[in-house]
């Protein structure tokens, strides 16, 4: 009901309810039942137009004049149609308390049952949605953890493979040097002033001492540089994720556990890459230096890989002139 209609109707009711201003005449008796009926009709009209608040107000005015249970039911209906189910249920129950066998008692009970059933249905939907969201988050967390573990395993396997390759290269280089020393001992040196004997077969140029070790050292150092670069890249990525989480927390955003796990994974890979790459660079440098000084050594020099939980490198033992 519009404001103009409401004012007109209230004015009409007030005109009926107000005593005439005539002096020397007794005030007429106001028919409360008639005024209550007018309020009720106004409430029904407002409810039909969708103005449920105005309808409730008219029903309330009528009920103050005549406490009829039907007016309570009408107010409950208006609250229900307006979406205020809690107020509606309370008024339906009030109607049943005042008129348990009234003409609208069955309707009141049906309305209460329907509202309770709808609330239970809505609660089930909310619970199902919550459980589905919890399952989705748990699945995402498991997937992220599996990816993190796979990344850690892959990095560890790469590190061990690089260490084994470096050890194999060092072993082959040591074997080659031993074979050259044995060949040099088996071949007698030519006497001073003697004419060297010429072999009928073509001779091959001897490999420079330590060349294989230098090549292996350069290869190991190059692999270490790549590992360090990968570690630095993941370190930058982890720092970016940490900054995003800090900004989100400062702005009151929702905590994202997936980003936290991704940042931890990036930091782990960064540490492994930088540590492993540094070890390879150090080992490559040691190999190169050992190959460079091999031809100048006066005593046997031993080279062995050193691998532990926290250290990966090469150990060189011996003395040089």
Which tokens belong to 216?
């292996």
Least confident of 8-22, 51-65, 195-209, 262-276: 8-22
pLDDT, tens digit, 9 for 90 and up, residues 108-162: 999 999 999 999 999 999 999 999 999 999 999 999 999 999 999 999 999 999 9
Per-residue exposure over 167-181, b if at least 16 CB sit within 10 Å of its own CB, e if not = bebbeebbebbeeee
pLDDT, tens digit, 9 for 90 and up, residues 46-99: 999 999 999 999 999 999 999 999 999 999 999 999 999 999 999 999 999 999
Note whether 258 and 140 are within 8 A (CB): yes
Classify 256 in phi/psi space as left (phi over 0), alpha (psi -120 to 50) or beta: beta
Residue 274: how many other CB atoms lie within 10 Å? 19
CA–CA separation, 278 and 156 (whole Å): 15
């Amino acid at each position: 009901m519009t404001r103009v209609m409401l004012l007109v109707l209230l004015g009409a009711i007030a005109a009926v309810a107000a005593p005439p201003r005539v002096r020397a005449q007794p005030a007429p008796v106001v028919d409360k039942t008639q005024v209550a009926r007018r309020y009720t009709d106004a409430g029904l009209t407002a409810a039909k137009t969708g103005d449920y608040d105005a309808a409730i107000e008219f029903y309330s005015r009528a009920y103050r004049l005549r406490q009829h249970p039907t007016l309570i039911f009408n107010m409950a209906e208006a609250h229900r149609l307006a979406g205020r189910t809690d107020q509606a249920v309370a008024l339906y129950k009030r109607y049943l308390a005042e008129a348990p066998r009234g003409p609208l008692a069955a309707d009141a009970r049906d309305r209460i049952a329907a509202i309770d059933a709808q609330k239970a249905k809505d609660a089930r939907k909310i619970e199902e949605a919550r459980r589905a969201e919890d399952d989705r988050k748990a699945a995402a967390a498991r997937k992220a953890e599996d990816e993190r573990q796979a990344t850690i395993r892959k990095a560890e396997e790469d590190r061990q493979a690089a260490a084994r390759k470096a050890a194999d290269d060092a072993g082959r280089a040591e074997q080659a040097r031993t074979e050259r020393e044995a060949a040099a001992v088996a071949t007698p040196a030519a006497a001073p002033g003697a004419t060297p004997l010429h072999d009928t077969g073509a001779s091959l140029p001897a490999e420079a001492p330590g060349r294989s070790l230098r090549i292996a050292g350069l290869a190991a150092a190059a692999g270490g540089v790549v590992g360090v670069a990968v570690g630095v890249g993941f370190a930058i990525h982890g720092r970016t994720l940490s900054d995003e989480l800090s900004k989100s927390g400062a702005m009151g955003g929702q905590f994202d556990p997936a980003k936290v796990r991704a940042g931890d994974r990036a930091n782990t890979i960064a540490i492994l890459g930088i540590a492993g790459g540094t070890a390879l660079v150090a080992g490559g440098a040691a190999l190169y230096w050992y190959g460079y000084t091999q031809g100048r050594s006066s005593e046997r020099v031993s080279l062995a890989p050193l691998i532990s939980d926290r250290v990966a490198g090469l150990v060189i033992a011996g003395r040089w002139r």
